[in-house]
Amino acid sequence: MLGNTYTYRLADWITDLVLIQEAGFDAVALNTGPDCWQKASADLAYQAAAILNTPLKLYWSFDMNTFPQAGDEDAVKIAAYINEYATNPYTFKVNGVPFVSTFSGDQYSSSFGKSVCGGWDYVRSLVPTDMYFVPAFFFANNQTIAGVKDCVQGLFQWNSAWSMDDGEVSKSTDHNWATQLGANKTYMAGISPTFFSHYPEEGLNKNWVYRANNNYAKRWQQATEINAPMVQVISWNDFGESHYIGPRPSSVQLQPTNTTWVNANNHLPWARITKPYIETYKTGKPAALGSDLIVWEYRTHPANATARADPMGLPERAELLKDEIYITAYLSAPAEVRVQVGTLEGKFQAEAGLNHFTQPFEPGFVTVGMWRDGENVGGTLTGEREIVAEPTLYDFNPVVEQFFHDPAWEACKA
């Protein structure tokens, strides 16, 4: 989200692009609004890509809830963004033309003074290179997939990333959209680790959490099983909705106002565990590795806890969440993974490669370690935040921790 890059300078973009490339991604969606400073931040992203000479590509994703789309002049502005970088070597292209996406863009009865398809076809007519258009439409006002198929190359199902009802996240939405699009169109599936916002009524009025029990691992598995042509991870830095897989904000100016639930929670371990998911999605299995990585996530209070000093109520759908720690172990060789929280201890037998485990939690600190042949390997690690029975404020933004062990590093001598 360019909207959360206000303080970014070139070094910040270089850092982010290196981290994203290391995680195995092919491209970065530059989700932008109409503010001129967001465009300036995108320019820095392209400069950073050129300095790094990175294989990582960039593409526009227009937030059409913020861009006006009343008439021709608004369409010209959108096209100008696309045209400026249409032939840039660091722009993500499909079939030789720039890939373009949106968040929304079909929410009104007309787009750019025309029908939905008429408006976006007009934008296309202003792009000499043409564009590979895969928007995230939400189909308000009785719009349908059939009604827009002729003006898009595909569709991004944003809300496929989470369960939108009381059940677990599933592939049903993926199958539905892919079937309606047909074989000649690109279906892009959404993947996300969680969703939690706690904004008051007088603000954004978003106080809910989606059912997201080990959601990141589940969605990667589902996207792999359906062989989705494209996937997009939501998100790198949307702090207000808690689904960022990058580091915590480096400045309070990057953090949306009053987002107390973001204050202490680093999510970068989610990015670190993404590469084997991507490898499995692309090739059917993760690459073998010589080191060990264990990533785990947990909340800092039970789902049914009562907050002592929170002026807002319990988030909607909180009752759907389980009091569990979700562990992913990406190992070089078999090992026993141990998880201690309060008086509870779990011992899990892991094989080489990707493993997933679940441990119920109670109040206390979370400690994780690894054993081979009865010997502890690499010590243990205790998470920086404690699980408490009675929080001060509601916080359903997961804590994400990692344990890393490299035998080669331990064997080297000074």
Of the chain, the percentage scoring pLDDT greater than 70 comes to 98
Question: pTM of this prediction?
Answer: 0.96
Structure tokens at 53: 């000479």
277 in the same domain as 211? yes
Helix (H, G, I), strand (E, B) or coil at 66: coil
Q: Average pLDDT in the 317-341 region? A: 97
300 in the same domain as 175? no
Q: Given this model, what pLDDT does residue 110 score?
A: 81
323 in the same domain as 265? no
299 in the same domain as 277? no
Q: Given this model, what pLDDT does residue 365 score?
A: 98
More confident residue, 414 or 244: 244
297 in the same domain as 272? no
| Strand locations in 77-206 (E) | 93-94, 97-103, 132-133, 154-157, 186-191, 196-198
User: Which of these three, 240, 256, 283, is where a domain ends?
Assistant: 283
Residue carrying the six token digits 């598995």: 221
Q: Average pLDDT in the 212-232 region? A: 96
231 CB-side CA count, 13 A = 28
User: Which of these three, 283, 302, 336, is where a domain ends?
Assistant: 283
Residue carrying the six token digits 């400026």: 84
When divided into structural domains, the chain yields a total of 2
Residue carrying the six token digits 């202003």: 126
Structure tokens at 112: 């750019």
180 in the same domain as 46? yes
317 in the same domain as 267? no
Q: Average pLDDT in the 320-325 region? A: 97
104 in the same domain as 23? yes
| Strand locations in 139-266 (E) | 154-157, 186-191, 196-198, 207-209, 230-233
Question: What is the per-residue burial (b if ≥16 Cβ within 10 Å, else e) of 238-259?
Answer: bbbbbbbbbbbbeeeebbbeeb
Of the chain, the percentage scoring pLDDT greater than 90 comes to 88
321 in the same domain as 377? yes
Q: Average pLDDT in the 224-235 region? A: 97
Domain with residue 240: its CATH number is 3.20.20.80
138 in the same domain as 120? yes
Q: Are 188 and 155 in contact (CB under 8 A)?
A: yes
User: Which of these three, 283, 306, 334, is where a domain ends?
Assistant: 283
Look up the domain containing 261 and give its range: 2-283
257 in the same domain as 297? no
314 in the same domain as 237? no
Q: Given this model, what pLDDT does residue 363 score?
A: 98
The 154-157 sheet, strands edge to edge: 154-157, 186-191, 230-233
Q: Say how far apart CA 337 and CA 254 lie, in whole Å.
A: 36
Q: Average pLDDT in the 290-301 region? A: 97
More confident residue, 140 or 29: 29
pLDDT tens across 27-69, in order? Answer: 999 999 999 999 999 999 999 999 999 999 999 999 999 999 9
Q: Are 294 and 368 in contact (CB under 8 A)?
A: yes
Q: Does position 252 have pLDDT exceeding 70, yes or no? A: no
pLDDT tens across 150-198, in order? Answer: 999 999 999 999 998 888 999 999 999 999 999 999 999 999 999 999 9
